[in-house]
Each structure stands twice: as C-alpha cells, then as structure tokens.
A and B are shown apart, each in its own frame.
Chain A
Amino acid sequence: MRGEPRGWMVFTSIVALFLTVLPLPGWLDMFRPAFVVLVVLYFSITWPRAGGIGLGFFCGVALDALEGPIIGEHALVLSALAFIGVWEHQRIRSKPAFQQSLIVFFALALYEFLLFVVDAWTGHPNTDVRRWLHILPGAMIWPIAIALLERGHSPR
C-alpha cells in the first residue's frame, strides 16, 4: 500500500510527453488532450505524498523545452495544478468517474487559462480560440486514463 510507484510515474510521464509531441495532422492536433496534465493530476490525487508537485514541475520543464515559448511556463502551471490536486485529493478521489471528469474539465480549463495569462505576461500573447479546444477531449478521456494508469501499481 505504501509503496509509491516511482518508476511507473516516470514511465507514464515520459509516455505522456511522447504523446504530446507525436506529430498529428493539423485539425486533429487541436483536439489532442493535454496528456501530461492528466498524468500529473492522476498521481497528485492518487499518491498525494509521492511528490506530484515535483513531477509537475519537471514535466513542465520538459514541456517547456519541447514547445514552450519560455522556460518555466509549463513548470509553474503544472506544479500549481499538482498542488491543487494534492490539496483536494480526498475530495476528488471520493467522486465517481463522471464527476471526476467534470473536475478535470475545470482543471484543464484552469491550466489553459494560466498558460494564457503567463503567455500574455511574458510577452507572447496568443489569443487563438483553438487553444481551448483540447479541454473537452481531455476531460472525456479521463476515465480511460485512470483505468490505464491504475494498472501500473498496486491498488491503494
């Protein structure tokens, strides 16, 4: 029960990063869920003591290196989301999958909003509406993501 699945955390994060940068045709690209956010959220909710905030930070730095206009942007936003996940993990974990999806929807919206704010703040404003498109698919795959992510560690 106490054994935190460190290896699994790292592995799934790398897979999520991989999925994030996997080339997709243009229109599909807009609907690509933010896999890294889902993974970070999952681990901060399920294993609140396993260092989800740190995971968020380092995944964020990796994302920044891959696609950020400025280093530290995704790191800041993802660690903030992980913090919220850790803070509220009891409440979120007790909800059924559908309600969790709803929560994840708002978490993803918050993620995109924070990115939007940091973008504007650091002088790379991007008001493209399409940046919000990935939120809904992200929330929709949350139950699937949970089911897959649960397989890698002992039930808690």
Chain B
Amino acid sequence: MAFGVATGSLPGRGPTPGLRFIGYAVLAITLMFLDRREGWMEQVRFGLQTAMYPLQMAVSSPGTAWSWVRESTRTRDTLRMENTELRTRLRDLELRTMRYEALSQENATLRGLRTALPPVAEKWLVAEVVRDVDNLRPRVMINRGTANGVFKGQAVMDDGGILGQTTHVGPWSAEVILITDPEHQIPVEIERTGLRTIAEGRDDGALGLPYLPANADIKVGDLLRTSGMGGVFPQGYPVAKVAALNRAAVQPLQQVTAEPLANLNRSREVMLVWFREAHPAAPVRDTGGDLTKGDPNATAQPTPPKPKPAAPAAGSATPAGNATPTAPRAGGTPAQGAGPRGTVPTPAPARSGSAAPSTTAGSQSTPTGAAAAPGAARSGTTAPAAPRPATPATPAQPPAENRQ
C-alpha cells in the first residue's frame, strides 16, 4: 500500500479528496461571506434553527425533567420559607408602587399632558434559558421564537435590569446576546447626572464605559440606566452600577467598570418585553435593532403632530411620536415648524446611537440633515426624562440651541 493512494483519484468515486475539500471550503467561505453581510443569511439561520430544534428539545429535556423532579419533591419547609420571602418582597414592591399612580399623574401635569401616559412596556413574555450558546461567549438560547412574536433586536430583561437582546430568532427559540458580550454595546445614561455614554461588554463579565472623558462626573455606585438611544432598549431601565473608576492623570479618557444589575449567570427565567411604539420613552425603532452600524434605509422619525401656528400647543396630549414631550414647546417657533412631518430625505446616521457616544441632549428625536432649523428648535428643548443639569463633561452643546 503506497502512501499516495488517498491522493490519487478514487475509481468510481467522483472527485479526489483534494477537489472535494476545495469545493466544500469554497462553499463554507461563501456562507461566511454571506453571513457577514447582515440579513442575507437570516432565512438560512431560521431554517437551521428549525432543523436543530428537535436536538435542542432532546438536550433540554433532562434539565426539564430534573427541575420537575426537584419541584415535586420540595419539602414543606422550603416552600414555606420561599412563601414568606415572596410575601415580603411583594409587600416591599407594593409599598414602592403605591405612589406610582400619583407620581405619573404629576409627571404628566408637569409635562403639559392631560392624562398620564401608559407604561412604556406594553406586554412581556417569560422565557426560559435553555442553554448557553457557546461556553466562551455570553450568549444564551431561550425557548421562545417567532411563534411567540419574538423579533430580532428585542429587549430581554430579568427582575434586576436589562439582560440583553435577541440576535437570531428561530421559530421556537431565539439567541440572546447578553450585555456583557464584548460585541455588545448599550447606550446608557448616568442616572445622577443624565450624562449619556455607551457601555460595552468586557471579557471579564463586567461592563466598561470606554468613552467617558477623564473629567466626567461619575462616582462609584452611580446607577446606569438605558438612555433610549440605539433603537432597542427604552429609556430609563436599570443596566448596571458603577463599581470602579480608574483615572490616570495622563489619559484623556477614564476607565470605568460597572457591574450589571441583571443576574446574567443565574437567570433561568428571563422576560421578553414589547414596548409601546408611541411612548416617548420607547426606543427609536427604525434602526432595526442594529447595534453596530446605522441602518442605511432608516427614514426620518415621524415627528409629533405639528401644532398649527394659530393654536398654542399647550394641550396637544396625544403621544404620537417619540419626541412628544417636546412638541408643545416646539410650537413656540411656528415659523420653523412649517415643514410638516420632518421627512428628511437623507438617512440620519447620528441617531443610530451606538455608533458614536453622542452626549448632546436631544439627538434621539432630532432628524439631522436638511431639516436643520426645526431640528434645532426641538433639540434645544428636548429633555425626555427629567431636566438634566449640564455636566462639565457634556461636550460642546451648541449655545445657539439653548437660547432658542
């Protein structure tokens, strides 16, 4: 038996191994290339996830069986303990939400709305973490998919805070990328100051804030919450707590470490959340959940119904667009408000919040580009959440906008 046998042509067996390998390699590289181009392979992925579903079911069934056994053999004592714990927690939460109605009404009055807005979360769905997608990457597979109405780029939370978002959605399962994945960035704001920045996942399972200037006002213990930019997460949900600061005198940026509030490693049950599109705190939807680059097809956001110059804006309460809270005050510049529904032909790259750490207030609702005048009118007054004290770190807010 000479060593050359395998390399020679095999009689009646078609191409040689070398040719076969080259064929398959080309095919694989083509697949990778297509997958890199976003969206081209989503259908294929969908099909593959469908094909892999039986395997997944088979894999998760021992775990399901085990948890069922454990559930059914719980002792009375553990149950009672758990019950007490839950009751305490419930009372806690009830006390905390007691004033919620009154506060939201008060908030609405302050904003000049006639009635309080409904909560931004419209509905949610509990999903179970089936398995880790890959033991080296913080991604998990959950047992809900398009059959339950899950879509790509949907926010996933647990009772602690934001957990991540869906990346690939199959019919009955979806892949969730956690916020600690180094490939994930989440637009956040510091609750105490309102300063907006981006939180990145890091290899060590924490979050980093790589784009904060050295003189930014941030302390250990500051709460980071979602800023509503980037098109996935609505404004105001807790993300992480600042754990450590590292200011080197010579560095223009400081290194901030934050610990995620969600139980990233322990959560077996997570929540998929749907948001009211019309709510002012809702994420800007039209970036398609793309967190790495702006959507070239993004159209300008629908602006709130422009109040007629004659009618003072005071009571236009319908929350039609994301920029609603600013609408009444935008009416103060009637001449510029003439262009209805800011249909800016140019795509608005600045709004895909994660691309650049935009710290200027109001870029969420500002169509950039041609409609500069109405845009400036609105952005000068935009303060979707609380009025935000200007921090020393907020770079270069054009003074002209503030004076309008």
A residues near B, CB below 8 A?
14, 17-18, 21-23, 26, 29-30, 32, 48-49, 53-54, 56-57, 60-62, 64-73, 75-76, 79-80, 82-83, 86-91, 118, 122-124, 126-128, 130-131
CB atoms of B59 and A79 under 8 A apart: no
Bound-state CA distance A17–B55 (Å) is 8
| Contact across chains for B36 and A122 when beta carbons are under 8 A apart | yes
Which chain A residue lies CB-closest to B203? A128
Given contacts A14-B55, A17-B55, A128-B136, contact A71 B6 (CB under 8 A): no
Enumerate chain A residues within 8 angstroms of B29, measured Cβ to Cβ. Answer: 72, 76
Interface pair B6/A70, CB less than 8 Å apart: no
- Tell me which of A66, A73, A88, A90 has the highest count of chain B C-beta atoms within 10 A of its own C-beta: A66
Q: Which residues of B lie under 8 Å from residue A72 when comparing CB positions?
A: 27-33, 35
Q: How far is the CB of B158 from chain A (nearest CB, A)?
A: 18
A49 touches B10 (CB 8 A): yes
Q: Judge whether B1 and A71 touch: CB under 8 Å.
A: no
Judged by DSSP, the binding face of A is helix
Identify the B interface with A (CB < 8 A). Answer: 1, 3, 5-7, 10, 13, 17-18, 20-21, 24-25, 27-36, 41, 44-45, 48-49, 51-52, 55-56, 58-60, 62-63, 131-137, 183, 203, 265
B35 touches A70 (CB 8 A): yes
Cα A74 to Cα B60 with chains together (Å): 23
Q: Decide yes or no: A87 and B6 within 8 Å by CB, A71-B35, A80-B25 being known contacts.
A: yes
How many angstroms from the CA of A115 to the CA of B12 in the assembled complex? 34
A56 to B, closest residue via Cβ: B24
Chain A residues within 8 Å of B28, by CB: 57, 60, 72-73, 75-76, 79
**Partner of B131 from A21, A54, A131 at Cβ < 8 Å:** A21
B residues less than 8 Å from A48 (CB atoms): 6, 17
The residue from B6, B31, B44, B137 contacting A89, defined by CB atoms under 8 A apart? B6
With contacts A48-B6, A72-B30, A122-B36 taken as known, whether A23 is within 8 angstroms of B48 at the C-beta atoms is no
Let me know if B17 and A67 touch, CB within 8 A.
Answer: no
Given contacts A21-B59, A53-B21, contact A130 B7 (CB under 8 A): no
Among candidates A87, A91, A118, A131, residue contacting B136 with C-beta atoms closer than 8 Å: A131
**Can you report 29 A-B residue pairs in the complex whose CB atoms are below 8 A from each other?**
A14-B55, A18-B55, A18-B58, A23-B59, A29-B132, A53-B20, A57-B24, A57-B27, A57-B28, A60-B28, A62-B51, A62-B52, A66-B52, A66-B56, A69-B134, A71-B44, A71-B45, A72-B31, A73-B32, A79-B21, A82-B21, A83-B20, A86-B6, A87-B18, A90-B3, A90-B6, A123-B36, A130-B136, A131-B136
Ordered nearest first, which 4 A-B pairs have the shortest CB separation? A72-B31, A65-B48, A76-B28, A72-B32
Question: In the bound complex, how far is the Cα of B265 from the Cα of A143, in angstroms?
Answer: 35
Give the CA-CA distance A120 to B58 in the complex, in Å.
Answer: 32
Q: A21-B55, A65-B51, A67-B134 are in contact. Are A80 and B32 (CB under 8 A)?
A: no
